[in-house]
Structure formats: C-alpha cells, structure tokens
A and B are shown apart, each in its own frame.
Chain A
Amino acid sequence: MPADLWTQFDAAPLALTLRVALVATALALGLGVALGWVFARTRLPGRGLLEAVCMLPLVLPPTVLGYGLLVLMGRRSALGAWLREHFDYTVIFHWHGAVLASTLVALPLVLKAASSAFAQVDPQLEAAARTLRQSRWSTFLRVTLPLAWPGILAGTLLAFARAMGEFGASLMVAGSIPGQTQTASMAIYDAVQAGHDELALMLALVVSAVSVAILMLSNRYLQRSPS
C-alpha cells in the first residue's frame, strides 16, 4: 500500500456513516416495531395500503426517493419553507437529510421482520398474561416483545447494514460535502470519479468488511428466532 494513501485517507466519512446509520436504525427500529405490531395484531382499515407504502423504499429507485424528499423538504416546498422560516432549519445539505433517507430505506427491513415476528407469537400466551391482570402495555413488554425480539433484532441488523450503504437518495438530499455530509459511499464515488482508485478500494474494503460482520451477526439471530 503506498505511503501517501495514509495522508489521503480521511476517517470522517466512515465516522459520519456510522453516525448516520446508528441514528437512522434507531428511528427505523422505533417506527418499525410500532407499525409491525399494528400490522400483525390489529385490523386497521387500509392496513394493506399503508404497509405497501411503508415497504416502498425497498423497491423504489433511490432517485425517486431522493427526488420525493427534495420536493417535500426543499426550500421551495411548503414544509421546507415553514421549517426554514420558523426554525431556521433544513435537511437539504445537512447530515440529517442523509439520516432521513437512510431511515426510510431501513424501515421496511425492521417493519417486515417485526410484523412477522409478532405474528409468530402465540396469542394464547398474551391472553394468559392478560388473565394474570397484566395491562396490554405490560403484556407487550413482558410477553410479546421478548418472544419476538430475536426476529426483530435480525431485521434491525439488516436495517443497519442497509442504512450504512445508502447512497443515491442521501446524495440528492444531503449532498456530498466533505466533513459535513460526505458518507463513506459518497467518498468512494468521489474517489472513483477522481481516479483515486487506491482510496476507493480501501474504503470499499472497510465498508464490505463491516457489512459482512453485520450480516453474519444478523443470520445468527435469524436462526435463533422461531420463524
């Protein structure tokens, strides 16, 4: 490895990638578990449509997601203009924009894992807890969630890996600003375009290694879950 690579090498994109992926995964976990439970345990009208909409980022081209976020959150949009006027805040060219995009692509993975994990939990166990005078909330926390947890965790790890790899939508919304919004995937893209092949290769290896570790961990939890 050439010595000057170390002077080129910048850990900021990797650190930002971890930060974005962690925040996005936490958000996706909260949302995914709540929605997963709703989809598995309730007869909400329009459930099928809502579920399909939530799953959409899994199959949409990242450009559609990015464009949608630009239209919804941009300076010229109603929401974007309101946020800017009242809070002097915008997700465009901000790392929060990358978090938003990553959360949306990570959500389907948590949601799908959570709703099938909840569906596997025997309703009779929940009913038994209810006869023991546990509240619905307490039943959820003490019975349903612990039984569903391995499946949810496996989905969450997948979501984290997916959030780490987000590129297209994040690039469109957050831009590639070195030190501010440039994640590892964007740094790789820039390095390839600029012909810095060694830097690109090195970043690609780091990202791949981390992803392999996460996928192996996720598989272990999947094998342990009842599904």
Chain B
Amino acid sequence: MKRLLLSLSLALPLLAGAQQLTVSAAASLTDAFKEIGPKFEAAKPGSSVRFNFAASGALLQQIAQGAPADVFASADQDTMNRGVAQQLVAADTRRDFAANTLVLITPAQGAPAIATLADLNQPAVRRIAVGKVASVPVGRYTQQALEGAQLWTALQPKIVFADNVRQVLDYVSRGEVDAAFVYRTDAELAKGKVGIAMTVGGHAPVTYPAAVVADSKQAALARDFVAFLGGAEAQAILARYGFGRPQP
C-alpha cells in the first residue's frame, strides 16, 4: 500500500505536467504575467502555466543550454534576434505584444535633484544602478541613451551593474544608489519608495517580442499563449501595469 502511494505521488506531477507550459519571461513582465497566467489557464482548461523570470539575456542563455522552456518573452528585439539567429526560437511564431518607456529614477527621500542626464555628473550622485549590458536589455537601452549623451564613459566609475531590472529597482528602493535606469512599469510598482526624475530617450524603442521555443514539446499550446498575449484580456492586464501597445 505504501509503495503504491509512493509511486502514485511520484507519477502525479508527471500526469499534471502533460499540459504544462513553461514561459521564460523578462523580469519586467513579472507582475503582469503572473496575472495573465491564470487567465490563460482558465481559457485553456487542463493547461497549467509556470513562469521563469530573469534578465532576457540570461533566459536565452538557459534556453541555449537546453532549459525546457516553451515560450520566450524578451524585453528587447536584440535578444530575440539572437534567439532567431541561433535557431533557439521558431522565427515564424514571433510577435510583439507590449511596449515600455525607459525612465531615470531616484530614491523618494534624500535624492540629489536630477532634471537632465548631465546632472548625473554632479558629485552628489555617487552610485548609479544599471542593468548588466551583456545580458539585461534595460542595461543596453541605458547604454544607448548615455552614449548618445556622451556620458557613458564619464559615468563608468559610478555605475553598479545589476542582474536584472528588478534588482536595479531594489537598489534604488533601499536607497543604496542615488539614481538608476528602469522601465516606467517597474518605477510605478515602487511608488512611494522611488521617484521618476525624467523620461529617457535616445535609445531603440522598448518593445517586447514573444516566440515559441524551437525545442518546445508543447508547441501548439505555446503558440496559443503567444496569441493570447495579443488578445484583449492580456492587453488589458498589460495596460493596467502601464505597458503600451507595440507600434504595428
């Protein structure tokens, strides 16, 4: 009897996993996707969605190493382009489903006054948090903007590189850095702890593509999920978190 129960309990997760979808998504999508997940499950009875949130570059790297993801949602086109070039995702399934804005934020209390990017040069700004350029899209958008303003090299000694956009946000919320670059949707989540100093331009448009992972064993369900992201229900949730619609 004991043995029967044991084998049952071992087999149950496998049975439940028959329709399980693993979505690897950019860290900035965390809160919106956690709401979209149950809506998708309700729309597709028998399916269950689990999420893996991290920096887009780190997620693509995991997929390249064979992580069993079904859908990949990136916070930039660069990372998805690499995925297509390395044939890690099915190019024909790629869809843009959201847009975002880069903002410069400061801690809500005791922050130096910043109105322009050049203000980051002042000595009162000691530490600036930026996503790691090699693996975090928000870091690359930041680099583009600061390079455009001829500030990237000069500001290097002040920059603390973070693993993903939520870590950047956390550094500011704790007051450990004086300024940082995140998406508007992230800044909105930490209202009261951080303030938006300015909207930052001079970078590639922030659009989020999603695609089915080439090795997915749930390709049909994965396609459904990508399509679901463009639907009214998911778009309403994304809009509530402050995401924009991608330019067609």
Interface residues of A, Cβ cutoff 8 Å to B: 70, 74-76, 92-93, 175-178, 190, 192-196
In the bound complex, residues from chain B placing their C-beta under 8 Å from that of A195 are 57, 60-61, 64, 134-135
**Contact of A74 with B174 in the complex, beta carbons under 8 Å:** yes
CA distance A194 to B176 in the complex (A): 25
CB distance from A197 to the nearest CB of B (A): 9
CB distance from B85 to the nearest CB of A (A): 12
14 contacts between A and B (CB under 8 A): A74-B174, A74-B176, A75-B175, A75-B176, A76-B175, A93-B176, A175-B160, A176-B132, A177-B159, A190-B132, A193-B132, A194-B61, A194-B135, A196-B134
**Contact of B134 with A75 in the complex, beta carbons under 8 Å:** no
CA distance A196 to B135 in the complex (A): 11
CA distance A175 to B158 in the complex (A): 12
Say whether B241 faces chain A, with CB atoms less than 8 Å apart: no
CB distance from B156 to the nearest CB of A (A): 9
Q: Of B132, B159, B175, B177, which one neighbours A194 at CB under 8 angstroms? A: B132
In the bound complex, residues from chain B placing their C-beta under 8 Å from that of A192 are 61
CA distance A194 to B61 in the complex (A): 7
In the bound complex, residues from chain B placing their C-beta under 8 Å from that of A92 are 176
In the bound complex, residues from chain A placing their C-beta under 8 Å from that of B162 are 175
CB distance from B215 to the nearest CB of A (A): 17
CB distance from A116 to the nearest CB of B (A): 39
CB distance from B209 to the nearest CB of A (A): 19
In the bound complex, residues from chain B placing their C-beta under 8 Å from that of A193 are 55, 57-58, 61, 132, 134-135, 163
1/0 per residue B35-55: CB within 8 Å of A? 000000000000000000001
In the bound complex, residues from chain A placing their C-beta under 8 Å from that of B60 are 195
**Contact of B57 with A175 in the complex, beta carbons under 8 Å:** no
In the bound complex, residues from chain A placing their C-beta under 8 Å from that of B57 are 193-195
Q: Of A74, A175, A196, which one neighbours B161 at CB under 8 angstroms? A: A175
The residue on B at minimum CB distance from A71 is B174
Interface residues of B, Cβ cutoff 8 Å to A: 55, 57-58, 60-61, 64, 127, 132, 134-135, 159-163, 174-177
Q: Of B132, B135, B160, which one neighbours A93 at CB under 8 angstroms? A: B160
**Contact of A177 with B160 in the complex, beta carbons under 8 Å:** yes
**Contact of A190 with B134 in the complex, beta carbons under 8 Å:** yes
In the bound complex, residues from chain A placing their C-beta under 8 Å from that of B134 are 190, 193-196
CA distance A175 to B130 in the complex (A): 12
In the bound complex, residues from chain A placing their C-beta under 8 Å from that of B127 are 93
CA distance A70 to B177 in the complex (A): 13
CA distance A178 to B159 in the complex (A): 9
CA distance A94 to B133 in the complex (A): 21
CB distance from B180 to the nearest CB of A (A): 12
CB distance from A70 to the nearest CB of B (A): 7
CB distance from A16 to the nearest CB of B (A): 15
Most A-side CB within 10 Å, residue of B58, B174, B176 = B176
**Contact of A177 with B135 in the complex, beta carbons under 8 Å:** no
In the bound complex, residues from chain B placing their C-beta under 8 Å from that of A190 are 132, 134-135
Q: Of A70, A176, A196, which one neighbours B174 at CB under 8 angstroms? A: A70
**Complex A-B, nearest 3 residue pairs according to Cβ-Cβ distance, in ascending order:** A194-B134, A193-B135, A193-B58
In the bound complex, residues from chain A placing their C-beta under 8 Å from that of B163 are 176, 193
CA distance A177 to B132 in the complex (A): 10
Most B-side CB within 10 Å, residue of A70, A177, A193 = A193
In the bound complex, residues from chain A placing their C-beta under 8 Å from that of B175 are 74-76
CA distance A151 to B57 in the complex (A): 46
**Contact of A176 with B161 in the complex, beta carbons under 8 Å:** yes
CB distance from B213 to the nearest CB of A (A): 16
